Structure 1
Amino acid sequence: MKILFVTSELAGLVKVGGLADVSAALPRALEQVAHDEVRVLLPGYPGVLAGLRDAAPIAELPGLADIPPARLLGGRGADGQQLFVIDCAPLYDRPGTPYGDLAGADWADNDVRFARLAFAAAQIAHGLPEFDWQPDLMHVHDWPAALAPGYLAWQDGARPIPSVTTIHNLAHQGLFPAHRLGALGVPEAAFAVDGSEFHGQLGFLKTGLYYANEVTTVSPSYAEEIATPQLGCGLHGLLGGLRDAGRLTGIVNGVDPAWNPRNDPYLVRRFDARSRDAKQRNAQAVRHSLGLAHRPAPLFSLIARMVWQKGVDLVIDACETLVRAGGQLAVMGAGDASLERRMHALSQRHPGSVAVKIGYEEAMAHKVFAASDFFLMPSRFEPCGLTQMYAQRFGALPIARETGGLRDTIDDGITGFLFPDSSVRSLLGAVRRALLMFNFRPGMNQMQREAMRRDFGWDRPAQEYHRVYQRAQAACRTSARHE
């Protein structure tokens, strides 16, 4: 099966979050496990153009309304993955992130920037006269790519192409004013409850959900949660209907094999489930590096964006109790300035017991996972999460809120500790359970062995995605026969 994989991020070229990791890993797994041929389409940001190998022009892409024309390039990523890149300097040749400027503000023309991505996907899907490659299916990711199934549906006389939309985080929907429909080439007839309209606005993600043949998200529990008013972000009715029709599937992400203490180049001493004593050497090195006191204390860690969703405020409020109980805390992350200040104040108040590093360093993250006994992840909601899986691979038992992908990847009392409520009291209840286990070494050793043996590879998710693709193809064929 030939797959056009449409994304706004790709690890190795441009990364903001977990979407980039999935966009790099899943195509490789699909090719290896399901023998699909996958080509990834993404915008031509400066870093993408600089990293594109064997770049060659493929086609000139006509514009639509205010969407400018662009040049389509072909090439390969650093790992050899086949790429399509949209070369359109007026839209993408800018400093900052894929979504905003250096100050963090969204680009004012993000609707056009990502409509260009989605419309290019539809153009490729319908076939380019200059290029002899046409996909059997289109797989789009999150709101930046989600107009593509709509553009497929709105083009008259085109061969129907099945499409799959994946939700990585429903909280980000890509909402724009209704008066932008004409500028983006969206038919007025599509601006309806059964279409692209969302509370009087044009919804990019809603478009992708409504027009796709199949919808996936990144864990089974999150698939259930987003069909409820509490976590459905206003789309729970549509998503509940998709779930009831068997068209909403939760598939847990895999993790990159680089997160493995057996061959990790960043560690002082490598180890596996049978040689966990080497964790202590790594813990000594991290304590020295971060300025934590050298004592046989349980080492807790938190590596996260410092935002409300991640429950960082709960960790701050629980920290005094954790330290009084003899624990140490290593924190790394950045985000909300007020949370950063509060974390820094904790480290000042508890020198030797709390260490805080503002920002993110890949090498240090590996070292902290290897050093930690426990990993804190008190997210208020978590579509999938990756760090709890990294932590288990390194024998750092996660202490996590029982939500979304955390519920699906952590076995309470076996590979980690789950707690039910987004409250300090609930978090501390799980921390106390963890401390009791830390002091019962046979039980602690057994839990670490179980956690490190868990399979979080991409083979199984790739097989599940391939089955979704087959269902989408069947649904598309059935729909075409009925038209």
Structure 2
Amino acid sequence: MLESFELEADAALPTTAHAELQDMVPSSVSVKRRQSILFVTSEIADYIKAGGLGEVSAALPRALRRQYDVRILIPGYRQVLSQIGPVEEIARLPASFGIPACGLGRGTTQDGLTVYVLLCPELYDRDGSPYVDGFGMDWSDNDIRFARLGLAAADIACGSGDPLWRADLMHLNDWPSGLASAYLAWRGQHIPTILTIHNLAYQGNFDRSRMSHLGIPDAAFQINGVEFYGKLSFLKAGIYYSSHITTVSSTYAQEITRPEFGCGLDGLLRTCAEQGRLDGIINGIDESWDPSRDPYLVSPFSAENWRGKRINADNVRENFGLALSNGPLFAVVSRLVHQKGVDLAISAAETIVSQGGQIAVIGQGEPRFESELQALASRHPGSVGVKIGYDEGDARRMYAGSDFLLMPSRFEPCGLSQMYAQRFGSLPIAHRTGGLADTIEDGINGFLFGEPSLGRFMDAIRRGLETFRSGSRLTAMRRAAMSRPHGWDRSASRYQEVYERACRTALA
């Protein structure tokens, strides 16, 4: 007689195939289907990224797929379709209100992760980033472009996208996917939804007159809905209608419930926290950030052999037009915007150079900061080098070659750069906020300062310079930084707890 046991079904099997498998085995055998997660994002580093969301969207689903059948939904930008390979159109999603019809394509990443792609050239076949044109201006139809994403997510979750698959839970990310949970609620569907806030400052706010074009019912335009200071807010909709809210560090989860960091949403977020619906889960970094085998580096190195770090430093100096030097090398790898404290880094540069230090900067952003940095490099040839733009290889070699990374961010939900730097033995000098406070131990694996002022920042830089002059302390701090846990396993476990809690709540 056959004993009862659980059979773990293959995650690649569609929902209907799981049912067929269940019919094929004796009743004493139970088939356990892994839960299906639809991960909805506006960027993924495999194909297109504008910031940390792209990195997280590439890494977190991969960390979760050991436990779940995770599939990604992303708009079919020109950059995505040119890189993803064969895409099979599996459904047509109808036009609704002012949102055009689109195709739903299905493709896979190189390592087999299923990606659903919205096929709508009129919305997504453009140059520029996911959000702005080549001049840095928001696309005028961003409300339609990302309402299309949210509506498609709701359709797929309800089973009207892929005929062989539907979601048990949706994981939304930032304002571009925020309407997905609202569309479900307005349909009376109770599928659990998690919204992760990667940066509260970006909210997707649009004029109230756009509601009818987006299919938003008039009754939803209120404080308990989509209304935000007279506008409609995609992010507020996501927060209000989702089952659970996460953000990308525990400190930031606390900060955004206060007026100074809450960007006008602190009251709603305080309510979420009081209801047990808000969690902070620190991001990780993927395994490619390994100085012993990173193909971008000109020479590998480890905490036991620093020779390769010096070789990378010399390469950075040559690449950025800096003089050969035995002094400290500071790196700035950042969007050049006010949030990142670029003005503080520019003001600190004179002292760094006067103390024998050098600075290499890569990034792009606000024109005023780009101009000021280029002027700084002109005033200090051989000591300051600036590249406007972004190149992955340059950035990785900067982390590998630098002694310190400057991160005077006024706020930082999580931050990945400090973890990249730590992994490559570069000590971050950062404001004690958000994820920086959660990942940097002051004087152990980096330096923290308490308020975003030039004086406090300079105090931390001076401590860094003192450490550089003390070879043994510098080595100890580098080793501590490199040994800090950086991977996604711990974060993925926390997300699993949140998913299970959201599913239990939905069933209650």
User: TM class, shorter-chain normalised?
Assistant: over 0.9
Equivalent positions of 1:379-418 (< 5 A) are 379-418=409-448
What does residue 152 of structure 2 align with?
Answer: 120
Equivalent positions of 1:16-35 (< 5 A) are 16-32=50-66, 35=67
**2:57 is matched by which residue type in structure 1?**
S
Question: Whole-Å Cα distance in 2 between the matches of residues 312 and 79 of structure 1?
Answer: 37
Tell me which moved more, 364-373 or 444-453.
Answer: 364-373
What does residue 219 of structure 1 align with?
Answer: 249
Q: 8 Å contact 2:155–2:161 — kept in the other structure? A: no
Question: Whole-Å Cα distance in 2 between the matches of residues 75 and 351 of structure 1?
Answer: 48
What does residue 91 of structure 1 align with?
Answer: 123
Q: 8 Å contact 1:51–1:77 — kept in the other structure? A: no
What does residue 141 of structure 1 align with?
Answer: 173
Q: 8 Å contact 1:53–1:78 — kept in the other structure? A: no
Aligned length: 474
The share of aligned pairs that are identical, in percent, is: 53
What does residue 111 of structure 2 align with?
Answer: 79
Question: Whole-Å Cα distance in 1 between the matches of residues 256 and 221 of structure 2?
Answer: 23
Q: 8 Å contact 2:225–2:236 — kept in the other structure? A: yes
Q: How far has the Cα of 1:58 moved from its partner? A: 1.4
SS in 1 for 2:82: helix
Q: Deviations over 1:247-268 (max 9, x none)?
A: 1011111112212111011222
Tell me which moved more, 369-378 or 77-86.
Answer: 77-86
Question: Whole-Å Cα distance in 1 between the matches of residues 162 and 153 of structure 2?
Answer: 15
Structure 1 residues 420, 129: CA separation in 2 closer, same or farther (over 3 Å shift)?
closer
SS in 2 for 1:385: coil
What does residue 40 of structure 2 align with?
Answer: 6
Q: Deviations over 1:329-363 (max 9, x none)?
A: 11111112221121112212122211112211111
Question: Whole-Å Cα distance in 2 between the matches of residues 226 and 169 of structure 1?
Answer: 10
**1:366 is matched by which residue type in structure 2?**
R
Equivalent positions of 1:38-437 (< 5 A) are 38-128=70-160, 131-156=163-188, 158=189, 160-437=190-467
What does residue 473 of structure 2 align with?
Answer: 443
Higher relative contact order (CA 8 A, sep 6+): 1
Question: Whole-Å Cα distance in 1 between the matches of residues 275 and 447 of structure 2?
Answer: 34
SS in 2 for 1:181: helix
Question: Whole-Å Cα distance in 1 between the matches of residues 80 and 390 of structure 2?
Answer: 21
Tell me which moved more, 344-353 or 418-427.
Answer: 344-353
Question: Whole-Å Cα distance in 1 between the matches of residues 252 and 427 of structure 2?
Answer: 22
SS in 2 for 1:286: helix
Q: How far has the Cα of 1:130 moved from its partner? A: 6.3
SS in 2 for 1:72: strand
Q: How far has the Cα of 1:166 moved from its partner? A: 0.6
SS in 1 for 2:395: helix
**1:190 is matched by which residue type in structure 2?**
A
Structure 1 residues 130, 279: CA separation in 2 closer, same or farther (over 3 Å shift)?
closer
Structure 1 residues 171, 130: CA separation in 2 closer, same or farther (over 3 Å shift)?
closer
Q: Deviations over 1:70-102 (max 9, x none)?
A: 111111123321011111122112222211222
**1:421 is matched by which residue type in structure 2?**
E
Question: Whole-Å Cα distance in 2 between the matches of residues 241 and 130 of structure 1?
Answer: 36
Q: 8 Å contact 2:225–2:237 — kept in the other structure? A: yes
Q: 8 Å contact 1:304–1:333 — kept in the other structure? A: yes
Question: Whole-Å Cα distance in 2 between the matches of residues 439 and 140 of structure 1?
Answer: 47
User: Would you identify which runs of 4 or more consecutive aligned residues in structure 1 move more than 3 Å?
Assistant: none
Structure 1 residues 435, 191: CA separation in 2 closer, same or farther (over 3 Å shift)?
same
Q: Deviations over 1:77-133 (max 9, x none)?
A: 233210111111221122222112222211111111111110011111111276021
Q: 8 Å contact 1:310–1:381 — kept in the other structure? A: yes
Question: Whole-Å Cα distance in 2 between the matches of residues 145 and 49 of structure 1?
Answer: 20
When normalised by structure 1's length, the TM-score is 0.96
Structure 1: gaps (5+ residues): 479-483
Q: 8 Å contact 1:397–1:415 — kept in the other structure? A: yes
Structure 1 residues 395, 55: CA separation in 2 closer, same or farther (over 3 Å shift)?
same
Question: Whole-Å Cα distance in 2 between the matches of residues 260 and 411 of structure 1?
Answer: 21
Question: Whole-Å Cα distance in 1 between the matches of residues 202 and 161 of structure 2?
Answer: 35
What does residue 481 of structure 1 align with?
Answer: none
When normalised by structure 2's length, the TM-score is 0.91
SS in 2 for 1:202: strand
SS in 1 for 2:368: helix
